[in-house]
A = this chain, B = another copy of it.
């Protein structure tokens, strides 16, 4: 690695993606990348953890078509207006590319594909709640600069879509979506975040409200992670999703959606945990959890290789993802290779280890070496993996806290935003439509955005809006986003 994470974060991020072979940006369509094995394997493990939790909380997997007829797409007016600029359209087929009778949108999100089926599936209160998820790709004709695992014209995500008998049940789902984010993204992936109720002007197109979570990059820039939306009956009305309630009255269903973008979480994972040697994977989602490097000396090759092979087999059979590096690289080059690729634990095994019935174990996150008795290896690997997750989480949480500041005036805010970044707490006139003018002014002057009011805390303003000077109705958080 040429670049230092803390000095040149942006260059470091590009370098680690290229050097660890996470993605190849040379695919010849703008904004589309090739996701290579180390990233894909990690994302598959991330998908598995997320989907387990979604199924545990009652969501059933479905797969909807990638294409959405234009006539569905335009049914909910706000949604159509908001998403249309980002749509790739399929309008021809066959050798001649002859025009189809109608245009199809490559899904930028699936509300308008799913709602027409909800209309068929939901008839009575007995059919509710209806909770589903799908793992899929979505496509958006982004005009902003794309970056791998951050913003692209194609990305891999999960979307949940749920329907309920009333607002109360739907809002319980929104709360559950946030709990799931905490349980998986924070507890398992060790990516810290803060949930905000987005201002009126920044909510999902078609939602009554949006709770979105912001995570931070080490350069103080904000990366939006999953958001969850309460749609009220807006989509249900547009798509005529009605049911007969317990009193035999017809009602519109209340719907919600939640969108954990695994591809973007991969971006936060790289940025949050990596160091100047490369990636660091939390053990549960590490494509390779343990690498065994045999240290060969002349005349002792056989016994060392035998020991290494035996250990490899033993750890593999114990359910670990383990590699035995038998390439003809030097041990030093092997260390470098696997450190770059974020393997949490390295085990070195040489002639002396064989004779003393022990191995050398090295932690990727701290670099700490220890001597481990052969009989204790599995126990020590499991214990160390637990410690690594705890360590990564503690470090990430500490870094996140350092990026939360407060500002009483615009000039204070500007100084923090420019020098340090992160999320700055401040007084604001309003997050309803009337506050948008101030947000625009702020953005024009600083490129920073109002991210919204906190969901987990009821914060009361203590002064005036830092832009217009009118009495503040809310406390908001402000920062620069990718």
- Shortest C-beta distance, A266 to chain B (Å), equals 11
Query: In this assembly, does A95 line the interface, its C-beta being within 8 Å of a C-beta of chain B?
Result: yes
Q: Is the CB of B66 within 8 A of A120?
A: no
Residues of B within 8 A of A9 (CB): none
Q: How far is the CA of A92 from the CA of B88 in the complex (A)?
A: 6
Q: How far is the CA of A223 from the CA of B408 in the complex (A)?
A: 71
- Shortest C-beta distance, A161 to chain B (Å), equals 12
Q: Is the CB of B93 within 8 A of A87?
A: yes
Query: In this assembly, does A368 line the interface, its C-beta being within 8 Å of a C-beta of chain B?
Result: no
Q: How far is the CA of A297 from the CA of B11 in the complex (A)?
A: 70
Q: Is the CB of B63 within 8 A of A93?
A: no
The A contact surface, by secondary structure, is: mixed
Q: Is the CB of A93 within 8 A of B89?
A: yes
A91-B92 CB under 8 A given contacts A27-B65, A37-B60, A132-B37:
yes
Q: Is the CB of B65 within 8 A of A34?
A: yes
List residues of A (117-170) whose CB comes within 8 Å of B's CBs.
117, 120-121, 132, 137, 139, 141, 154, 156
Selected from B27, B69, B95, B121, the residue in CB contact (under 8 A) with A28 is B69
Q: How far is the CA of A379 from the CA of B44 in the complex (A)?
A: 32
Q: Is the CB of A66 within 8 A of B137?
A: yes
Q: How far is the CA of A104 from the CA of B30 in the complex (A)?
A: 11
Task: Tally A residues with Cβ within 8 Å of B.
Answer: 52
Residues of B within 8 A of A88 (CB): 67, 90, 92-93
Query: In this assembly, does A40 line the interface, its C-beta being within 8 Å of a C-beta of chain B?
Result: yes
List residues of A (32-46) whose CB comes within 8 Å of B's CBs.
32-37, 40-41, 44
Query: In this assembly, does A64 line the interface, its C-beta being within 8 Å of a C-beta of chain B?
Result: yes
Q: Is the CB of A89 within 8 A of B87?
A: no
Residues of B within 8 A of A89 (CB): 90-93, 97
Selected from B35, B97, B139, the residue in CB contact (under 8 A) with A62 is B35
Q: How far is the CA of A171 from the CA of B61 in the complex (A)?
A: 38
Q: Max chain B CB contacts within 10 Å: which of A64, A113, A132?
A: A64
Q: How far is the CA of A62 from the CA of B103 in the complex (A)?
A: 30
Query: In this assembly, does A106 line the interface, its C-beta being within 8 Å of a C-beta of chain B?
Result: yes
Q: How far is the CA of A8 from the CA of B120 in the complex (A)?
A: 27
A26-B117 CB under 8 A given contacts A88-B93, A95-B84, A103-B97:
yes
Selected from B61, B93, B139, the residue in CB contact (under 8 A) with A66 is B139
Q: How far is the CA of A60 from the CA of B35 in the complex (A)?
A: 11
- Shortest C-beta distance, A46 to chain B (Å), equals 13
Q: Is the CB of A65 within 8 A of B32?
A: yes
Query: In this assembly, does A85 line the interface, its C-beta being within 8 Å of a C-beta of chain B?
Result: yes
Chain B residue, CB-CB nearest to A137: B66
A28-B92 CB under 8 A given contacts A37-B62, A61-B40, A66-B137:
no
Mask: chain A, 91-115; 1 = CB below 8 Å from B; 0 = not: 1111101000001101000000100
Mask: chain A, 58-88; 1 = CB below 8 Å from B; 0 = not: 0011111111010110000000000011111
Q: How far is the CA of A41 from the CA of B60 in the complex (A)?
A: 8
Residues of B within 8 A of A87 (CB): 93-95
Residues of B within 8 A of A44 (CB): 61
Residues of B within 8 A of A172 (CB): none
Q: Is the CB of A120 within 8 A of B24?
A: yes
Sample (13) of A-B pairs whose CB atoms are under 8 Å apart: A26-B117, A27-B65, A27-B113, A29-B67, A32-B65, A35-B62, A35-B64, A37-B62, A40-B63, A84-B95, A89-B90, A90-B90, A93-B141
15 additional contacts (CB under 8 A) given A34-B64, A91-B91: A24-B121, A27-B65, A32-B67, A34-B63, A37-B61, A37-B62, A37-B132, A40-B60, A44-B61, A66-B137, A66-B154, A88-B92, A89-B97, A92-B103, A97-B103
